[in-house]
Structure 1
Amino acid sequence: MKNLTSWDANPVQAFEKFVTTLDFAKTGRRLRADGTVKLVSTESAKTYMFMFANVATWIAGQGKTFSTVTPRDLVRFVQRVDGGKPVLNSKIGYRYLRLLERCYEHLGVVPNPAKQAILATDRKDLPKDSPGRALSPEQLQRFFDALPADPPRRRRVTAFDGWKRRRDRAMQVVMALAGLRVSEAIGLLVHEVGNQVALDGSIDLTITPAEKHDTSHEHIAPLPREGVAELRPWLDERARMVNEKTMVGDFVFPANVDGEKMTKKTVYKQIRATFERAGLDTARAGGRTLRNTFAKGQLDNGARPDELKGVLGLALERSAADYKLTRIKDDPK
């Protein structure tokens, strides 16, 4: 067994030194056509470093170190839930365990905690991947037609009355047309919205992990012209509210005038209400359906898995390819 001192003292630093080496490549058993070992690409190394940092942070939060964490601890990591829903699906959970297995294999740790965790779950106990649903183009238009409406002007006391409806309308359009997760939408910051308009009328949303879920990867999500047309009026109204000191904070879609973050539960309720107004099946009325719809649209328009990986902020190209294999179908009318 190799010395684990550096891995316990600073596991992220130790892993970053390891991931680009031939030793790491050997643990992956990926060979070129000529039989030589294939080193991981720079992009893949970044993904692995993000994943390792994520699990290392969790391990430290449990009061454990890389050498003292147990198979049972690692099973708990991949079986975590957030708001009653699994944080990691079965494929991603397995990839985390496999990554750790490679590290322990390199270090000569026997028995290998990550391998034991894989054997203990046999993947059957990991959260299952639920079949995906996507809206057809006609259903998506019905969804847009049913978005929250502005209250009648005669009922307004101030110019900003009903601002939450306009916030919800813009947010749901952005989620549907830019493929954002709910956590990315509620954590979207004003400075992440691009000011430069492309020739096709789109703008870039720079999605960073800041204020979002820890699985969000930094990426650029283009928002098409139709989305910009909905987002800009809300941003202008929000800016006026800030200037008049009736709102504070940096969130694009704040929960209240105090600038607090919206909850996932609130967003789910708002999206479900839009589905109901549109007369669509509400069994899968959530942000995932909107994201699936965006992904399916990208693939139908000829996007490659590596391109979809970029715009969705996925960790691995294989994750993007899964969208093509997922049982995506139209919701019943």
Structure 2
Amino acid sequence: MDSLWLTNPALAYRDWQAREAASADRRPFSARSIIQHQAMFEHFRRHLLTRGKSIAAFGADDIDSFWLTADARTYSQSTRMRYLKLLDRLCRHLVFAGVRKDNPTAGLLGSVRWPDEEPAPQYLDPAVDQRLQAHLQSPADDIASLRSRAIVATFLATGITAAEARTARMADLYPDAVPPYLFVPAHGPRGARTVHLPDFAVPLLRAWLTRRKTLPIEGDLLFTLRADGRPITDMSFGRIVSAALEAVGWSDADMSPRTLRNTFCRRQLLVGRSRDEVSQVLGLASHRTCDRIAATIPADEMLQKRTSQ
């Protein structure tokens, strides 16, 4: 039996990921996927600790109770499937290693399927959007609060993705330029672009940039949770966004940076920007996202917004 799984499961998982874990086609996972998987495993492991269970002894009931936790209640069908696949890979390995006698996910995978259709885009309606903007401008109590508000403001004000926020650097933010802007370097299929900052975000991002430059953190990432300068995980971004949305009394199935990106897109369309302009600002090569968001706007609302400009 591999005792490290019992004495230090977090270390055992990292070691297994680095040496052996692979996807269904036997290709090693990417560095980004490994970071995400480790965060997911740690989230589930902490749930087990609250229930007094170990990696060697948890069952299907512990997985069922996990879906009822505050964070997991907001998970999409796709995210639940990713968790089940992760736990299935893990349990099959633990059975092989002699740490477990069974795989409690075996009977659960068949009950959860990848979505057949892309779900309707989630977004904040204009009233909630305004409430969140106002909330972000209220005084922050400490550095952690200032950083969290700056993170949420960046998503809400620029529509960048979590991956782009994860790699944003201090030198990319120009809150004192005329007009203020965030430079978004090329990332995968998305080309480099400049996104102008709306008024509500400028004081907060200026304050965060000033404070960030004084912190003893390795590297030059704009946002990081640790002194060693490691990028923030998607799970941490999700918790930060979720907390901000809960603070303004909003809850829905997808309380994530993606919802704020959709809100940014919808706000641009509401003020009359063309789908070409908005797609460019979002770093998209097609109009598909803009068309899906535009479909959520009633024709009379769009007309009213345009005629009031």
TM-score in same-fold range (> 0.5) = yes
Please tell me whether residue 206 in structure 1 is matched to residue 173 in structure 2. Answer: no
Give the structure 1 partner of residue 174 of structure 2.
194
Deviations 1:102-158 (A, max 9, x none): xxxxxxxxxxxxxxxxxxxxxx9886321012212221232234448633xxxxxxx
Aligned residues: 195
Q: Does 2:140 align with 1:150?
A: yes
Per the alignment, in what secondary structure is the counterpart of residue 258 of structure 2?
helix
Summarize the Cα distance change of 1:217–1:125 in structure 2 as closer, same or farther, 3 Å threshold: farther
Q: Which residue of 2 aligns with 1:138?
A: 127
Give distance in 1, aligned partners of 2:201 and 2:150: 8
SS at match of 1:240: coil
Letter in 1 for 2:183: T
- Superposition deviation, residue 270 in structure 1: 1.2
The equivalences for 1:1-333 within 5 A come to: 128-147=117-136, 150-151=140-141, 162-194=142-174, 197-198=177-178, 202-209=179-186, 214-241=188-215, 246-325=216-295
Write the distance in 1 (CA, Å) between the matches of 2:220 and 2:251.
34
2:125/2:263 contact within 8 Å kept: yes
Tell me if structure 2 keeps the 8 A contact 1:276–1:282: no
Q: 1:305 to 1:269 in 2, by over 3 A?
A: same
The amino acid of 2:143's aligned partner reads W
Larger Rg: 1
Verify the 8 A CA contact 1:220 1:310 in the aligned structure 2.
no
Which whole-Å CA distance do the structure 1 matches of 2:129 and 2:290 have between them?
Answer: 22
Q: Distance in 2 between matches of 1:164 and 1:291?
A: 22
Gaps of 5+ in 1: 1-61, 63-71, 74-80, 88-123, 152-161, 329-333
Question: Contact (CA 8 Å) 2:217, 2:228: kept in 1 or not?
Answer: yes
Structure 2 vs 1, CA of residues 219 and 250 (structure 1 numbering), >3 Å: closer, same or farther? same
Runs of 4+ residues deviating >6 angstroms:
81-87, 124-127
**CA distance in 1: counterparts of 2:249 and 2:128, whole angstroms:** 9
Higher alpha-carbon deviation: 142-151 or 279-288: 142-151
Which residue identity lines up with residue 183 of structure 1 in the other structure?
A
User: How far 1:323 moved relative to its partner?
Assistant: 2.4
| TM-score between both structures, scaled by the size of structure 2 | 0.55
Identity rate, percent: 26
Q: Match of 2:196, SS?
A: strand
- Aligned mates of 1:275, 1:236 — CA distance in 2: 25
* Pairwise CA distance, 1:239: 1.1
* Unaligned ranges ≥5, structure 2: 1-21, 26-32, 41-75, 80-112, 299-309
CA 1:225–1:253: 2 relative to 1, 3 Å: same
Cα gap change, 1:265 to 1:138, in 2 (>3 Å): same
Q: Contact 1:179/1:312 (CA < 8 Å) preserved in 2? A: yes
Determine helix, strand or coil for the equivalent of 2:183. strand
SS in 2 for 1:206: strand
User: Which TM-score applies when normalising by structure 1?
Assistant: 0.52
The alignment's C-alpha RMSD in Å is 3.1
Distance 2:116 2:186 in 1: 23
Residues 182-210 of structure 1 deviation map (CA, whole Å, 9 limit, x = unaligned): 22122211222236622xxx322121245
Q: Which amino acid aligns with 1:207?
A: V
